[in-house]
Amino acid sequence: MTTALLSGTNRTDLWSGSIIDCDVHANVPSIESLFDYMEPVWVQGTQERGWRGPTGPRYAYPPGATTTARPEWRRDGEEPASRLRMLQSDILDPWQVDRAIVNCYYGIDSLRHPDWAPALARSVNDWIIAEWLDKDPRLAASLVIPARDPIAAAAEIDRVGSHPGFVQVMLPVRSERLYGQRIFYPIYAAATRNNLVVGLQWGGTTEDAPSPTGYSSYYAEQYAAETQVYLAQLTSMVFEGTFQKFPTLRVAVMEGGFSWVPMWGWSMNKKWKGLRRETPWVDRLPLEIVRDHMRFSVAPSDLGTVEESKRIVDWLGSEDLLMFATDYPHLHEDSLEKLLEVVPESMRPKLMSESARDWYRL
């Protein structure tokens, strides 16, 4: 059976082992589709105001952008990746996945209402349970939170975090503050308390420019430079001592790539050696902390040639860091065939399923 991404190759010819897709998206079809899962006061509030839902998703993923959905995965009159049957026919069945982790970026962070944002998060999580998790045992999911309010976020994690289908708390990578800062401790405490991974996902709302410095002019520019935002958040978590405060915290990085990890790690190591008196809680080389506490999805990979990319994978210094993902329905110019060629043979089962199985306790 062939499908998009496989480019005519047979799935089992390409990889005969098991597959866990650690990043497939579920898009909310419309605000009305959440009404069954929404408290009446917010249903009427939505209708009364004629509100169409948070602006965040349209900002992170402009509907018509080629990167937002592969043409094979667009359907007339329907939001891509908005129904289970789409995910099943596009990914779960042709890829014969063991498990897939559903991520719904609905831009709840772009809603500043202190009560509506948590209410909307509850609606989305109940919608994920009812429309996705309960209907296909292959699925696991990230729960969504009102990320700009850590106390409310922790309450939502405790409300639904024990559901066996939820394996991760989604944090949009853009935020008004860096995630290592102590104001976010309630989120990490709740995540570790519920044995959940914290997953950084593309999207989010800042109080200032969405890049680490200044506004970009073009979407392509913003999209290509998104690595900087991931770097800023992960560096913050390393130097703030988040992993010393929460030694069992596991972080997954989605849609952030991984080719930059070695150079970023080396840079943190160098700076730490000379400046570490400032953050004495960072008790070992930052790159060791990265290896112990972070995993990276491979969509996008954005790699160079096979030979160049082999070096990058070698520089990671661990075969455990990468997790296969399609990032359905987004379009990336990656080739799984090439990625499998890049990683050592002993790493391939880890890449395709075992690292995710271990990280998410699947």
Partner 1 sequence: MNAESATQAPAKPSNRLQRYVVCPVAEFPATGRLIVEINGRSIGIFNIRGEFFAMLNRCPHLGGPLCVGQVLNEIQSTGPGNMTLNTGQDLLACPWHNWEFDIRTGQSYWDPKNLHARPFGVEVEAGESVSEQVSAGSVGRIAGPYKAETIEVGVEAEYVVLSLKAQPRASGAGVAAAGGASGKGAPDNPGTAEQQAHACAIPAVVPTSARAQTTINDRAPLTRAPQTEK
Q: Which residues bind partner 1 (CB under 8 A)?
A: 182, 240-242, 244-245, 273-277, 280-281, 283-284
Around Cβ 333, how many Cβ atoms within 10 Å?
9
Cis peptide bond prior to 150, omega within 30° of 0 = no
Measured from the CB atom, the residue of 67 and 236 that comes closer to partner 1 is 236
Strand runs labelled E in the chain: 20-25, 99-103, 139-143, 166-174, 197-204, 251-253, 294-297, 322-323
Residue length of the chain: 362
Evaluated on CA atoms 36, 254, 293, 227, the torsion sign reads negative
Tokens of 140: 């696991």
Tell me how far, at minimum, the Cβ of 259 lies from partner 1, in Å: 28
Report the phi/psi class of residue 255: left, alpha or beta, with left for phi > 0 and alpha for psi in -120 to 50: left
How many Å apart are CA 189 and CA 248, to the nearest integer?
A: 10
Tell me how far, at minimum, the Cβ of 345 lies from partner 1, in Å: 32
Measured from the CB atom, the residue of 113 and 270 that comes closer to partner 1 is 270
9 by DSSP, 3-state: which? Answer: coil
Measured from the CB atom, the residue of 75 and 245 that comes closer to partner 1 is 245
168 by DSSP, 3-state: which? Answer: strand
Measured from the CB atom, the residue of 107 and 186 that comes closer to partner 1 is 186
Tell me how far, at minimum, the Cβ of 280 lies from partner 1, in Å: 4
Tell me how far, at minimum, the Cβ of 270 lies from partner 1, in Å: 9
Tell me how far, at minimum, the Cβ of 241 lies from partner 1, in Å: 4
Measured from the CB atom, the residue of 206 and 244 that comes closer to partner 1 is 244
Tell me how far, at minimum, the Cβ of 256 lies from partner 1, in Å: 24
Tell me how far, at minimum, the Cβ of 78 lies from partner 1, in Å: 46
**Residues 326 and 23: beta-carbon distance below 8 Å:** yes
Measured from the CB atom, the residue of 52 and 182 that comes closer to partner 1 is 182
What does DSSP say about strands 20-25 and 99-103: parallel, antiparallel, or unpaired? parallel
Measured from the CB atom, the residue of 188 and 360 that comes closer to partner 1 is 188
Measured from the CB atom, the residue of 67 and 269 that comes closer to partner 1 is 269
**Residues 244 and 288: beta-carbon distance below 8 Å:** no
Interior CA angle at 63 toward 44 and 87, to 5°? Answer: 85
How many Å apart are CA 144 and CA 169, to the nearest integer?
A: 6
Tell me how far, at minimum, the Cβ of 245 lies from partner 1, in Å: 5
Instruction: Tell me which long-range contacts 223-232 makes (C-beta under 8 A, separation of at least 24).
Output: 223/67, 226/173, 226/202, 226/255, 226/256, 227/256, 227/257, 227/260, 229/173, 229/174, 229/204, 230/173, 230/200, 230/256, 231/260, 231/264, 232/178
Measured from the CB atom, the residue of 80 and 286 that comes closer to partner 1 is 286
Tell me how far, at minimum, the Cβ of 179 lies from partner 1, in Å: 13
